[in-house]
Amino acid sequence: MFNNNEANPNKAEEAVKNMDNSEMYDKLENFNEFKSYLHNKISVGEKLGMNEEQLAKSAEKVADYLAKNTEPQNREEILLQELWKVGNEEEQHKLAHMLVKLAK
């Protein structure tokens, strides 16, 4: 996919085209399951009367615990864990807000 540290969009596009339908469906389904899980948790918080800031702060606490104490179970969790680890406190807070928005 990369040649001499340069991204080659044509090769990425080619790789996606070469994926069989079941492989692509599995990847999309896993991501959709991940978003559905987040949506359900956000819905519970909203039913408890939490606003977006409260939801984001709760998401920060959970994400911090998970990043330190658990192994990611899918690609999305791996990505989130890596983003969480490299982010400073402000970036983590923004990521938590983005996750809340994604899940709504």
Domains and CATH numbers, the chain: 8-103 (1.10.760.20)
SS3 83: helix
d(CA 30, CA 90): 29
pLDDT value, residue 18: 63
The residue ranges of the chain whose pLDDT is under 50 are: 1-9, 24
The length of the chain in residues reads 104
Give me the pLDDT at residue 19, please: 53
**Backbone angles phi and psi of 10, in degrees to 5:** -65, -40
The predicted structure's pLDDT at residue 70:
85
Global pTM reads 0.66
Q: What is the pLDDT of residues 72-89, one digit of tens each?
A: 878 888 898 999 999 999
**Distances in whole angstroms, Cα of residue 67 to Cα of each of 18, 61, 92:** 34, 10, 12
What's the confidence (pLDDT) of residue 22? 58
